[in-house]
């Protein structure tokens, strides 16, 4: 007889709902994970900050000048809300931990903590006046592209409906780390029931596809029947190397051309009997813990939706302040216009490599998913440097 997990996988087509986004896994706790489609990284939920972070999405831009002309741009062109200022304050606190002579990003801008700190303080003051941006700051292009644009992806924290107890509808388990020799079972072994009966389930969900992508992302938010939200945090893995199910599906002739999350999800919806086979192609399995608080980024700072970016810190340092043109969308995910935002390098990812690569965090839930999808592409982005500081010219950092 099939165990209940395998049976559930075969029946998954009856109950699967999809987040419809693209994800890329991240390097967690030093473990090597490749990315294969679009996005990455962590996350979580903190109900006490919900109001603050909802403001990240609202634009307070009321321009007094033509914001398309960098030569005359001022602070009226930039999104300026509580989240913006909290992000700047976090950058300042981070930089104060280091001696002012400590240098960062030796392959890129190669700036000192003092230079970065003066810039962050200068940006905070600049937000309160109408001074021209270029009167106070150098705009250091991060790009090596001839278009002078930076490659963006967007990532967000998915939400998934969950229950505390098994039922036919909620039949896919979320496991805590076994913390013994059974933690190394492959995904296929676990899906066949290798961990059943050990009391390791911390929740049950009804969507096998969403759960798989939460494994890839390493975190998510569980939404329970009473409305309670709990954070799923990465707590370990089986130690297996990540393998792309997109490439597997391509090799089997299941997909051709479009290997996006949308294409994968659509195909799995149409072929629910193949879900177990496809997911088993990636032997890596992630274990979770459950909690309430917002997880920290690699820099130790919390995620600020609409402002946090993951970077390659060999080129772009934590504590820097970036300026980028980001699409603004409506509730249906349609682009309304573009707005300038201050971005804060606070995290890193295994697939975020080079000076012209940024991963932009949009928040939690469906609206954030829409925004993350719209961010992806080449966009204008600059590192700000107070003009009282000197730019150390490198091949990968040039002033605007």
Same domain, 283 and 139: no
Of 251, 269, 291, which one is at a domain's C-terminal end?
291
Predicted confidence band of residue 48 (pLDDT cuts 50, 70, 90) = very low
Same domain, 285 and 301: no
Calculate mean pLDDT across residues 136-156.
82
For residue 23, give its domain range: 4-38+159-208+232-291
Q: Has residue 203 got a pLDDT over 60?
A: yes
Same domain, 134 and 62: yes
For the segment 333-352, what is each residue's pLDDT rounded down to a tens digit? Answer: 788 888 999 999 998 876 78
Residues composing the chain: 400
- The domain spanning residue 260 has which CATH number? 2.40.240.50
Predicted confidence band of residue 46 (pLDDT cuts 50, 70, 90) = very low
Is 106 domain-assigned? yes
Is 96 domain-assigned? yes
Is 198 domain-assigned? yes
Q: Has residue 74 got a pLDDT over 70?
A: yes
What is the pLDDT of the chain when averaged over all its residues?
A: 80
Lowest-pLDDT choice from 8-12, 168-172, 208-212, 345-349: 8-12
Same domain, 308 and 272: no
pLDDT score of 257: 81
pLDDT score of 233: 86
Q: Has residue 161 got a pLDDT over 90?
A: yes
Of 291, 316, 342, which one is at a domain's C-terminal end?
291
pLDDT score of 363: 87
Same domain, 198 and 127: no
Contact residues for 313 (Cβ-Cβ < 8 A; gap 6+): 104, 105, 345, 348
pTM: 0.73
Same domain, 166 and 34: yes
Is 84 domain-assigned? yes
Is 258 domain-assigned? yes
- The domain spanning residue 389 has which CATH number? 2.40.40.10
Same domain, 287 and 175: yes
Lowest-pLDDT choice from 34-38, 66-70, 199-203: 34-38
Same domain, 149 and 264: no
Same domain, 163 and 147: no
pLDDT score of 14: 33
Highest-pLDDT range among 24-28, 29-33, 125-129: 125-129
Same domain, 237 and 276: yes
% the chain with pLDDT above 70 = 80
Same domain, 180 and 266: yes
Of 276, 291, 306, which one is at a domain's C-terminal end?
291
Predicted confidence band of residue 356 (pLDDT cuts 50, 70, 90) = confident
The total number of structural domains that make up the chain:
2
Same domain, 23 and 58: no
- Higher confidence at residue 399 or residue 142? 142
């Amino acid at each position: 007889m099939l165990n209940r997990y395998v049976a559930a996988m075969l029946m998954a087509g009856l109950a699967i709902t999809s987040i419809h986004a693209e994800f890329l896994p991240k390097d967690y706790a030093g473990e090597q994970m490749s990315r294969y489609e679009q996005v990455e990284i962590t996350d979580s939920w903190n109900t006490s900050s919900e109001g603050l972070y909802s403001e990240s999405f609202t634009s307070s831009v009321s321009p007094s000048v033509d914001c398309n002309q960098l030569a005359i741009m001022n602070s009226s062109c930039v999104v300026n809300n509580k989240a913006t200022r909290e992000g700047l304050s976090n950058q300042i606190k981070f930089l104060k931990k280091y001696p002012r002579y400590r240098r960062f990003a030796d392959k890129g801008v190669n700036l000192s903590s003092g230079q970065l700190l003066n810039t962050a303080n200068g940006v905070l003051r600049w937000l309160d006046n109408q001074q021209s941006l270029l009167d106070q700051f150098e705009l250091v292009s991060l790009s090596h592209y001839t278009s002078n644009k930076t490659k963006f992806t967007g990532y967000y924290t998915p939400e998934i409906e969950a229950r505390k107890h098994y039922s036919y509808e909620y039949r896919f388990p979320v496991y805590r780390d076994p913390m013994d020799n059974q933690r190394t079972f492959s995904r296929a072994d676990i899906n066949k029931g290798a961990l059943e009966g050990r009391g390791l389930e911390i929740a049950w969900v009804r969507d096998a596809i969403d759960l798989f992508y939460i494994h890839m992302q390493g975190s998510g938010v569980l939404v329970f029947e009473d409305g309670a939200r709990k954070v799923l945090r990465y707590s370990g893995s089986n130690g297996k190397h990540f393998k792309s199910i997109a490439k597997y599906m391509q090799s089997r002739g299941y997909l051709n051309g479009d290997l996006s999350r949308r294409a994968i999800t659509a195909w799995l919806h149409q072929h629910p009997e193949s879900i177990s086979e496809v997911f088993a192609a990636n032997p890596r399995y992630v274990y979770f813990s459950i909690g309430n608080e917002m997880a920290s980024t690699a820099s130790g700072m919390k995620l600020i939706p609409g402002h946090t970016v993951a970077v390659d810190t060999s080129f772009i340092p934590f504590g820097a302040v970036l300026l980028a043109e980001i699409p603004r969308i409506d509730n249906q995910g349609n682009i309304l216009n573009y707005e300038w935002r201050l971005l804060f390098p606070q995290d890193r990812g295994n697939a975020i490599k080079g000076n012209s690569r940024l991963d932009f965090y949009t928040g939690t839930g469906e609206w954030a998913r829409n925004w993350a999808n719209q961010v992806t592409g080449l966009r204008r982005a600059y590192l700000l440097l107070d003009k009282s500081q000197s730019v150390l010219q490198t091949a990968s950092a040039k002033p605007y």
